[in-house]
């Protein structure tokens, strides 16, 4: 029965029961963690063969004759550019294949725009009231990065098909100091939703007051489907921007981090040929070339998009039951109570949970008191502050199934307690 329809007496009874259960759980001395959006060791084991793709007997040359071991090749080996182009459905000439982190490439591009400016405009450093759009719930590391660079963060609500584009369009059309927007278009962190074709097209075609406005399109989960037969598809943004007459509007990112080893994969930025020229003209001062040996390791391991998809299904077979376990517990404990909603993603790394207003941080704190760590409530919003204190990011990838069952059960119990207290207050 829905909590909101229960009498105060019944609510109190339910609360007493829940508090008793909570004390029992607390007494168990749990030590669990559902906060970390990273693969489990067992999942990483499924990619260990990436370590065997090259050895001292291998031919260490790329297609273009370059010695992988030596200096050179600013924008990566042709094979890595080709692999990323296939994964992102774009062309190799649009791809800069780099080092082990897409986050670093994002940071470096913003630093470049801060210091040098883009499209002949004023360096962002000199735009004193610079602002950045942050669709939320979203990825805390994105928000923190633009905060670090001195941008005022403007929250844009997320719908189930992407950011609220009415609001985005209105904002960017009128304020030339809005220089960019974060976007995780597929299996968004943390909602797990994907952007509709309409949303992508509106991103590509909207009018912006800033000539040097940029979309940071972090396609981190582009091949991270949980199901072989049910998958989200999104429009390819680079060609959409081109068609709309704004070819230089977008930088797209992805990496092999969550395809094999997070710390030692390779990352890329894909963008217009003119933006590529601009980035290379800057980065030729920053580096001689990426780790071409590791680029070749990834290429030999993943081969092509078809093989990538096969490999991702092997990983999905380990990840999917974890997502389903969370949802099974949530459904079992919360269905029909009217106090929570949560997403059922077809891919990515997260489930987004919404409690009643004002309940998220208290529920997470109660979990922590009982030894179970969730991502800080608020972390999915700019400045770490969820104005409605509703959202919690659930990260099931690192824990075992058994740990997930226990952690999710404690979480639902805490959500019930906090909700009951709110209704009784």
Size of the site for a second copy (CB under 8 A): 55
Is residue 79 within 8 A of residue 299, CB to CB? The reply is yes
Q: Which of 290, 347, 348, 378 binds a second copy (CB under 8 A)?
A: 290
Residue 263, interface with a second copy (CB under 8 A)? yes
CB of 123 to a second copy, least distance (A): 7
Q: Which is nearer to a second copy, 168 or 296 (CB)?
A: 296
Q: How many CB atoms within 10 Å of residue 242?
A: 17
CB of 66 to a second copy, least distance (A): 9
Q: Among 19, 30, 50, 29, which residue's Cα sits nearest to residue 259?
A: 50
CB of 184 to a second copy, least distance (A): 16
Rounded CA separation 68/421 (Å): 62
Residue 400, interface with a second copy (CB under 8 A)? no
CB of 45 to a second copy, least distance (A): 9
- Output the CA–CA distances (angstroms, integers) from residue 22 to 142, 145, 349, 365, 417, in the order listed: 35, 38, 28, 13, 9
Residue 44, interface with a second copy (CB under 8 A)? yes
Question: What are the residues facing 214 on neighbouring strands?
Answer: 180
**Residue-by-residue DSSP string for 328-375:** HHHHHHHTTSSSEEE---SBSS-EEEEESTT-HHHHHHHHHHTTEE-P
Residue 46, interface with a second copy (CB under 8 A)? no
Q: For the purposes of burial, counting CB atoms within 10 Å of the CB of 24, is it exposed (0-12), middle (13-18) or buried (19 or more)?
A: exposed
Rounded CA separation 5/357 (Å): 17
Measured CA angle at 216 (ends 213, 220), to 5 deg: 170
Which residues between 294 and 353 bind a second copy (CB under 8 A)? 294
Q: Which is nearer to a second copy, 195 or 301 (CB)?
A: 301
Q: Which of 205, 264, 313, 409 binds a second copy (CB under 8 A)?
A: 264
Residue 293, interface with a second copy (CB under 8 A)? yes
Helix (H, G, I), strand (E, B) or coil at 163: strand
Residue 277, interface with a second copy (CB under 8 A)? no
Residue 63, interface with a second copy (CB under 8 A)? no
Residue 213, interface with a second copy (CB under 8 A)? no
Q: Which is nearer to a second copy, 105 or 346 (CB)?
A: 105
- Alpha carbon 143 to its chain's center: 12
Residue 38, interface with a second copy (CB under 8 A)? yes
Which residues between 71 and 100 bind a second copy (CB under 8 A)? 71-73, 99-100
Q: Which is nearer to a second copy, 75 or 86 (CB)?
A: 75
Neighbouring residues of 7: CB distance < 8 A, sequence distance ≥ 6: none
* Segment near a second copy (CB under 8 A); pick from 14-22, 42-50, 154-162, 409-417: 42-50
* Segment near a second copy (CB under 8 A); pick from 2-10, 80-88, 102-110, 175-183: 102-110
Rounded CA separation 304/160 (Å): 31
Which residues between 138 and 177 bind a second copy (CB under 8 A)? 141, 144-145, 148-149
Q: Which is nearer to a second copy, 164 or 291 (CB)?
A: 291
Q: Among 268, 251, 295, 291, which residue's Cα sits nearest to residue 112?
A: 251
Is residue 179 within 8 A of residue 129, CB to CB? The reply is no
Rounded CA separation 301/211 (Å): 41
Residue 288, interface with a second copy (CB under 8 A)? yes
Query: What residues line the site for a second copy (CB under 8 A)?
Result: 38-39, 41, 44, 47-52, 54-56, 58, 60, 67-73, 99-101, 103-104, 107-108, 111, 114-115, 123, 125, 141, 144-145, 148-149, 257, 261-264, 282, 285-294
């Amino acid at each position: 029965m829905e909590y909101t329809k229960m009498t105060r007496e019944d609510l109190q009874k339910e609360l007493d029961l829940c508090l008793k259960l909570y004390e029992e759980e607390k007494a168990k001395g749990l030590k669990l963690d559902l906060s970390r959006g990273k693969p489990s060791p067992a999942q990483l084991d499924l990619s260990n063969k990436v370590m065997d793709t090259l050895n001292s007997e291998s031919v260490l040359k790329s297609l273009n004759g370059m010695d992988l071991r030596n200096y050179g090749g600013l924008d990566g080996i042709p094979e890595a550019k080709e692999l990323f182009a296939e994964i992102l459905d774009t062309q190799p000439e649009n791809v800069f294949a780099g080092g082990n982190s897409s986050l670093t490439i994002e940071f470096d591009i913003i630093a470049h725009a801060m210091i040098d400016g883009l499209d002949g405009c004023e360096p962002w450093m000199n735009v004193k009231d610079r602002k950045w759009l942050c669709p939320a719930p979203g990825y805390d590391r994105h928000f923190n990065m633009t905060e670090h660079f001195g941008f005022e963060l403007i929250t844009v609500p997320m719908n189930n098909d992407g950011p609220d584009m009415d609001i985005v369009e209105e904002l960017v059309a009128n304020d030339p100091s809005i220089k960019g927007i974060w976007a995780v278009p597929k299996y968004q962190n943390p909602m797990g939703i994907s952007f509709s074709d309409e949303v992508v097209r509106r991103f590509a075609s909207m009018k912006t007051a800033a000539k040097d406005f940029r979309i940071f399109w972090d396609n981190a989960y582009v091949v991270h489907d949980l199901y072989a037969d049910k998958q989200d598809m999104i429009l390819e943004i680079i060609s959409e921007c081109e068609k709309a007459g704004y070819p230089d509007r977008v930088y797209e990112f992805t990496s092999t981090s969550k395809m094999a080893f997070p710390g030692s994969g390779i990352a890329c930025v894909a963008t217009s040929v003119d933006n590529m020229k601009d980035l290379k003209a800057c980065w030729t001062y920053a580096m001689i070339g990426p780790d071409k040996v590791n680029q070749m390791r990834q290429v030999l391991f993943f081969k092509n998009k078809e093989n990538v998809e096969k490999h991702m299904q092997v990983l999905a077979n380990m990840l999917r039951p974890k997502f389903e376990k969370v949802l099974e517990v949530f459904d079992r404990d919360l269905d029909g109570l009217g106090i929570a909603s949560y997403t059922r993603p077809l891919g990515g790394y997260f489930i987004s949970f919404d409690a009643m207003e004002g309940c998220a941080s208290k529920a997470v704190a109660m979990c922590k008191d009982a030894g179970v760590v969730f991502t800080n409530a608020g972390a999915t919003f700019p400045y770490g502050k969820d104005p409605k204190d509703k959202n919690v990011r659930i990260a099931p990838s690192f824990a075992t199934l058994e740990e997930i069952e226990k952690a999710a059960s404690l979480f639902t119990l805490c959500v019930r307690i906090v909700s009951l207290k709110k209704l009784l207050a």
